[in-house]
Structure 1
Amino acid sequence: MPQTDVDAVFERVMAARAAAERPIVVGISGYCGAGKSTLARALVARDGGIVRIRGDDFLDPVLSHRRSIDWSGVERERLADEVLRPFRAGRSSEFRPYDWSARRLGEPRPLPSAEVLVVDLIGLFHPDTVELLDLRIWVDLDLETAARRGKARDEALGRRHDRLWDEVWVPNERDFAERFRPRERAHLSVDAR
């Protein structure tokens, strides 16, 4: 992602923070492999007042590997209750990230305290969570290119998930996009080509 795009997004995040009277949540969504985490990490690196919660900490490992029209493997209710609502209210809280190596919810961790929280996650711009996101950023990349990049990333990490990409994740993305129009719910779109 070009540095000029990161600079523009950062300026928009800081403007949203300045306009708010409380901590804000920035939601970054887009297709699998589009570059959501890359953008989130770049924003956190820009300023000590920004913290990140990984969206992968709120995926159900069984449901996220099954077909659904609404990305049912995304634990939006847990995300909202443990992270989004308490953070926006400035309350201390704990959240339980998913421990992928143990295949269960991990030990509770304290919710970080900051001015801005970034959450990057597939299926985030859903009716259950969209109103809890003060600034919604869509990482814009066509689904085919995003899937190709995601497959290459997985392969570089020693994971071969081609069947999941082709039979579950790409169809889930298509269904979610058709049903919920996440790109249209974004306040800002970032070109990830």
Structure 2
Amino acid sequence: MSVIADLLAERPPRAGAVKVLAVEGRSGAGKSTVADAVAAELQAPVVRMDHLYPGWDGLASGVDALVRWVLEPLAAGRPARWRRYDWAAERYAEAHRVPGCDVLVVEGVGTGARQVTPYVSALVWVELDGPERRRRALARDGDTYAPHWDRWARHEDEFYAEHEVRSRADLVIGGQA
């Protein structure tokens, strides 16, 4: 993941004093794996969109939460706090604080949204073909995700048509593990 660390090193912070790395791509592409590897290399915290979406129809609301709870406060030099969505209870649960950091990794569908862009120092798109993405996602989340795969894919289609994330990425990488 040094290529991503090198890319980020060349970029200025855009969320106050914090460099934000957005790791984007469709469900099952390998975003979490990439984000975890880069975060470990850079000793950076990770905020995951899966913790911010308020349910299966909450992609846009999750993006708004990322901006409002995390990125705007960082840009203003204030502490950032976010609330984890409890998928089973269908409501937001406990709050989490983003630790003080020079680099923050944000990972998930929506981190490349146009309203996130002003805060992002580098945007990485993780690419993988559809059948393999589905296989991975269902192997990871099984029966929890299976009934919602098509529903979520429609939200992704709409989001990517509007935000054209892949074409705006600073780096496109394969999602092979």
Cα shift at 1:188: 1.2
Contact 1:143 1:170 in 2 (8 A): no
- CA change 1:92–1:178 in 2 (3 A) is closer
Residue 69 of structure 2 corresponds to: 82
Structure 2 residue matching 1:108: 3-state secondary structure? strand
Contact 1:33 1:150 in 2 (8 A): yes
What root-mean-square deviation, in Å, do the aligned CA atoms of Structure 1 and Structure 2 show? 2.4
Instruction: Note if 1:148 corresponds to 2:135.
Output: yes
Distance in 2 (alpha carbons) for counterparts of 1:60 and 1:20: 24
Question: What is the identity percentage for the equivalent residue pairs of Structure 1 and Structure 2?
Answer: 29
The alignment's TM-score, normalised by the length of structure 1, stands at: 0.79
- Of 97, 101, 111, which residue of structure 2 is paired with 1:114? 101
State the structure with more CA Rg. Answer: 1
Cα shift at 1:180: 2.4
Alignment of 1:1-193 (within 5 A): 6-16=1-11, 22-48=17-43, 50-64=44-58, 71-72=59-60, 74-155=61-142, 159-165=143-149, 167-193=150-176
Q: Which sits farther off after the overlay, 23-32 or 93-102? A: 93-102
Cα shift at 1:127: 2.4
Distance in 1 (alpha carbons) for counterparts of 2:15 and 2:174: 26
Distance in 2 (alpha carbons) for counterparts of 1:20 and 1:75: 18
Stretches of structure 1 lacking an aligned partner (at least 5 in a row): 1-5, 65-70
Distance in 2 (alpha carbons) for counterparts of 1:93 and 1:187: 25
Residue 68 of structure 1 corresponds to: none
Structure 1 residue matching 2:166: 3-state secondary structure? helix
Report the count of equivalent residues. Answer: 176
Cα shift at 1:103: 3.0
- CA change 1:134–1:179 in 2 (3 A) is same
Distance in 2 (alpha carbons) for counterparts of 1:63 and 1:38: 24
- CA change 1:94–1:133 in 2 (3 A) is same
CA displacement, residues 147-168 of structure 1 (integer Å, 9 cap, x when unaligned)? 222122223xxx3533321x31
- CA change 1:60–1:20 in 2 (3 A) is closer
- CA change 1:94–1:138 in 2 (3 A) is same
Cα shift at 1:131: 2.3
The alignment's TM-score, normalised by the length of structure 2, stands at: 0.85
Structure 1 residue matching 2:110: 3-state secondary structure? coil
